[in-house]
Amino acid sequence: MLAPSDIQEREVLCSITTMAAPDDLPLDWRQAIDETAELGLRRFSVFLTGLDAAARQECYALLRKRRMTHDFVLPFVHARSDMQPDEYRMFMAEFGTERFNLHPVEKNPLPPGGLPEDLRQIIYIENVGRLKEEQLADFAGICLDISHLEITRRNFPDYFPTLCALVEKYHVGANHVSAYATEEIQGKRDDKHRYSSLDEFDYLKRYPLDYFGKYVAIELTNPLPQQLLVKRLLDKWLGLV
């Protein structure tokens, strides 16, 4: 379920990712932060998935340094369950972040004391594994990873209607978009965080536009210039250009 304002303000964001799937090359996130200036990227997303507390502080310092000469906004951030409330508030105050997502906190515990209600109301829970309705309690809604949705459709048809029902019931505030294998590969993941052909995004056309929230974050380890090609494709398909 989407708010009318989300549809009107829908935006595809290139992303600085910090973690790669086992079969994908990682993105050099430090270099990518500098590269945003060279490419003139003023709005993008950051995935903090692979950064522990110390590495996050390095990332924050690099982002602040880059901001000194290149003005940018981070509207959407993939947070980690071990982040402290002041980390969320730093993104909001310094980088204009409006929404975050987390993996289900059932398996990824929050810090002692949890998170205050005002932060929970801008945090969306990603469909990792078999998302349960109770995992959405006290949060803003769903961050719908479309490649995870496609994995569910193909590999877990018994659960797929349940997930679609949750998507229809709860606010889809953001998305992750990865590539998807077009052929069966024995023993490998279907979804890919590094694409080799734009055809690997054709699966997205299977899903209605109202499955796409305000921020559609490209979750790839491809360099930012290659992500921009995906952004142009998605902008066109979502009717944003």
Confidence (pLDDT) at 192: 86
The position carrying tokens 């290659």 is 226
Q: What is the largest CA-CA distance in the chain?
A: 51
Confidence (pLDDT) at 187: 47
Token duo for residue 47 = 């995935």
Q: How confident is the prediction along the chain (241 residues), in pLDDT tens digits per residue? A: 677 788 889 999 999 999 887 777 899 999 999 999 999 999 999 999 999 999 999 999 999 999 999 999 999 999 999 999 999 999 999 999 999 999 999 889 999 999 999 999 999 999 999 999 999 999 999 999 999 999 999 999 999 999 999 999 999 999 999 999 766 554 455 678 999 999 999 999 999 999 999 999 999 999 999 999 999 999 999 999 9
* Contact yes or no for 29/17 (Cβ under 8 A): yes
Is residue 3 helix, strand or coil?
A: coil
Question: What is the distance of C-alpha 170 from the center of its chain?
Answer: 17
Confidence (pLDDT) at 17: 97
Distances (CA, A) of 68 to 5, 72, 87, 95: 31, 10, 20, 12
* Domain encompassing residue 180: 4-237
Confidence (pLDDT) at 31: 97
Nearest to 177 by CA among 149, 147, 139: 147
Domain count, the chain: 1
Looking up residue 200, the CATH number of its domain turns out to be: 3.20.20
Tell me which amino acid residue 217 is: A
* Contact yes or no for 17/27 (Cβ under 8 A): yes
Nearest to 51 by CA among 68, 63, 40, 39: 63
H/E segment holding residue 12: strand 11-13
- Long-range (24+ apart) CB contacts under 8 A made by 64-73 are 64/94, 66/33, 66/34, 66/36, 66/37, 67/94, 67/95, 69/37, 70/36, 70/37, 70/42, 71/42, 72/36, 72/41, 72/42, 72/43, 72/44, 73/42, 73/43
